[in-house]
Structure 1
Amino acid sequence: MQTYVIRRPSFCADMAELEACGRTSAEVGEQMSSRVRWIRSYVVEEPDGRLGTVCIYQARDGESIREHARRVGMPGEEFYPVASTVIVRPDPVEAVPA
């Protein structure tokens, strides 16, 4: 499988909507596990006040990414194959409240 970066701009109004979409995405991903795997997502605040994401996926091909997005009901047309990975530092880990 190839690694891809997927940009999903301004597609959720708030965290509750984003979390619901994430649950559906994980369920659909399980159904398509031989074609697509969700690795991680970074949630970004968009200039219009909505939330968007930058996602890391592994997929067999671009059509697998598009089909997964269609099934979930989210954008899936802006994606790029990853040519290489440079890790300067590991992703930060958020503190869990005590």
Structure 2
Amino acid sequence: MQVIQEDKIFTRIHTLKFPNKLSKETFRENLIKRVDEFFKENLFLTQFVDIDDITLFFINLWESEQHSNKVNSRNKDLFKQMMEIGIKISINWRKISL
């Protein structure tokens, strides 16, 4: 059993605003497939929250900030593609206690 140290839990909340509902649904399906691989890299939890027809929250809970940054840096191309097709991205993060 893996022991989680409180001071290392890290969360990222991505707010994604899409040009339209179809682009949101299409991108969400592709993102789900990609995120499944992150569990092998110390992602503990991920949650998609529909805010409205064009807004999606994508919430991740990681073992540590370092694990999150490692995966995030490898996926810079994804964020670039998202911005190129008109998706507005806001990312908030912090260490949290459970």
Question: How far apart in 2 are the matches of 1:67 and 1:38?
Answer: 19
Q: Which one of 67, 72, 82 corresponds to residue 74 of structure 2? A: 67
Q: Identity, % of aligned pairs?
A: 6
Given that 1:8 and 1:78 are in contact with CA atoms closer than 8 Å, whether structure 2 keeps it comes out as: yes
- Match of residue 4, structure 1, among 11, 30, 42: 11
Root mean square deviation of aligned Cα: 3.3
Q: Relative contact order (alpha carbons < 8 A, sep ≥ 6): 1 or 2 greater?
A: 2
Output the TM-score relative to the length of structure 2.
0.53
1:83 is displaced (CA, Å) by 1.5
Unaligned runs of 5+ in 1: 86-98
1:80 is aligned with what amino acid?
W
Correspondence for 1:30 among 10, 33, 36: 36
What TM-score, normalized to structure 1? 0.53
Of Structure 1 and Structure 2, which has the larger fraction of its residues in helix? 2
How far has the Cα of 1:30 moved from its partner?
A: 2.4
The number of residue pairs the alignment matches comes to 80
Q: What secondary structure, in the 3-state scheme, does the structure 1 residue paired with 2:51 have? A: strand
Task: Name the counterpart of 2:5.
Answer: none
One-letter amino acid matched to 1:16: L
On the 8 A contact 1:8/1:54 being kept in 2, the answer is yes
Q: Name stretches of at least 5 consecutive residues in structure 2 with no aligned partner.
A: 1-7, 83-87
